[in-house]
Amino acid sequence: MNEFVELMTTRRSIRKFQPKMITNAELDQVLYAGLFAASGMGRQPCYFIAVRDPETRHLLSSMNARILGQPSIDPFYGAPVVVVVFADTTSPTYLYDGSLAIGNMMNAAHAVGLGSCWIHRAKEEFETQTGKMLLQEWGLPETVEGIGHLILGYPAEDEHPEAAPRKEDHVVFLMEKKQFPALVDVLTEDSVVFHGTATDKVSAIREAGQIVVDLKCAGDEYIDSMLKREADFSTYLGNGVSVAHGTVWGRKRIRKTGVGLVRFPEGVDFDGEKATLVFAVAGVGDDHMDLVQQISAAALNDSVVQALNEAEDYDAVKAALKNLRLYK
């Protein structure tokens, strides 16, 4: 394994420290790593207050403990050094930049033999009157916000926490796309209705869903699955387009790939939005989400939506969709 990757994967949050003070050289290296953390457009909005003074450390610990609701504890776990990280809120990425700086410093601390842990509640701490006085005393701008505390010290000799098991299915690989069917090829003449009769969202989804059922793509239960998805999460995409499709359970019952399209010239209410084009998707395997993505791309294309709304026959629908294919 690469040494740097191994360093990052062996870092642990330390909550038990030796009382011995860390060296200036070690602290400098940690702070230096924080200064070189990436920031949005290189704005560098972060400020670090490195607290080695026991009196100031005790004050911050007391403030933090009161916010935590446990005034008798030390939220800094006895660590001799506390680095308070602030970021200027005038930068749109300040919260992410400050968080990344803390991450950089945690890895750097591990690299030089120190233990570290991120302690929260810095925002609330420095919104208090005492916190505001400290900001003024330290010469920080009024626009900063506390991001977090990084506690530093030498780990106690018996402090060797094991990493929690990594959660499964938290990495999804989107590999090179296989050849998926184009929407224009799946949408047949029999699957387009130019004058829908539904007057409400549920009826519109049923009307579009009936097309894929009639095409033998799925059974009647698939329409129920489409309505279940709609109840959980709106399938309205914007620009007058909705893409009704089934839940994961419903997709398992799809027999073949098909798409239905119903046009409602007067529009159907989708939770306050007017949908004039209601698609129903039933795709086998990966076809399903690929077709949903193609319809989503169509919804973002004003000229495609306009052409579909104005199409008088199937050939006009095909012409509107012919250049929409995402993958070649």
Per-residue pLDDT of 66-76, as tens digits, reads: 999 999 999 99
Residue 327 lies in a domain: no
**Assigned token pair, 184:** 């224009």
Same-domain check for residues 194 and 147: no
Judge whether 274 lies within some domain: yes
Average pLDDT over residues 213-230: 95
- The whole-model pTM stands at 0.63
Residue 79 has pLDDT above 80, yes or no: yes
CA distance 262 to 34: 56
Residue 8 has pLDDT above 80, yes or no: yes
- Are 43 and 146 found together in one domain? yes
Concatenate the DSSP letters of all residues of 50-67 into one string. Answer: EE--HHHHHHHHHHHHHH
Identify whether residues 206 and 140 lie together within a single domain: no
Q: How many residues does the chain have?
A: 328
Distances (CA, A) of 44 to 34, 91, 100: 10, 9, 11
Joined together, the tokens standing for residue 203 give 């009826």
40 shares its domain with 101: yes
Catalytic residue among 110, 149, 245, 288, which?
245
Whole domain around residue 285: which residue ranges? 183-321
Asked if the structure places residue 167 within a domain, the reply is: no
For the segment 199-211, the average pLDDT, to the nearest whole number, is: 97
* Number of compact structural domains in the chain: 2
* Banded model confidence at residue 88, pLDDT cuts 50, 70, 90: very high
Residues 245 and 109 in one domain: no
The pLDDT mean for the chain works out to 94
Instruction: Based on the fold, state whether residues 38 and 84 are members of the same structural domain.
Output: yes
111 shares a domain with 20:
yes
pLDDT at site 327: 44
CB 140 within 8 A of CB 122: no
User: Residues 157-182: pLDDT tens digits?
Assistant: 999 899 999 988 888 877 666 677 88
Secondary structure class of 313 (helix, strand, coil):
coil
245 is catalytic: yes
- Examine the fold and report which residue of 153, 174, 196 is the final residue of a domain before the chain moves on: 153
Residues 247 and 142 in one domain: no
Q: Residue 286: which of 173, 171, 167, 169 has the closest Cα? A: 173
Are 148 and 250 within one domain? no
In a domain, 112, yes or no: yes
Decide if 172 is inside a domain: no
113 within domain boundaries: yes
Q: Give me the sheet containing 241-245, strands edge to edge.
A: 192-193, 258-270, 273-282, 241-245, 236-238
126 and 207 assigned to the same domain: no
Is the Cβ–Cβ distance between 302 and 239 less than 8 Å?
yes
122 near 146, Cβ under 8 Å? yes
- 92: how many CB neighbours lie within 10 A of its CB? 12
If you average pLDDT over residues 229-236, what whole number do you get? 92
Q: What is the CATH number of the domain that holds 115?
A: 3.40.109.10
Pair 7, 138 in one domain: yes
Main-chain dihedrals φ then ψ at residue 159, nearest 5 degrees = -100, 95
Residue 23 CA, distance from chain mean position: 39
Q: Identify whether residues 128 and 219 lie together within a single domain.
A: no
CA 168 to chain CA centroid, nearest Å: 17
Q: What is the pLDDT of residues 250-299, one digit of tens each?
A: 888 899 999 999 999 999 999 999 999 999 999 998 899 889 999 999 99
161 falls within a domain = no
Whole-angstrom Cα distance, residue 213 to residue 16?
63
How far CA 152 is from CA of 28, 90, 121, in Å, comes to 12, 29, 17
pLDDT at 80 over 90: yes
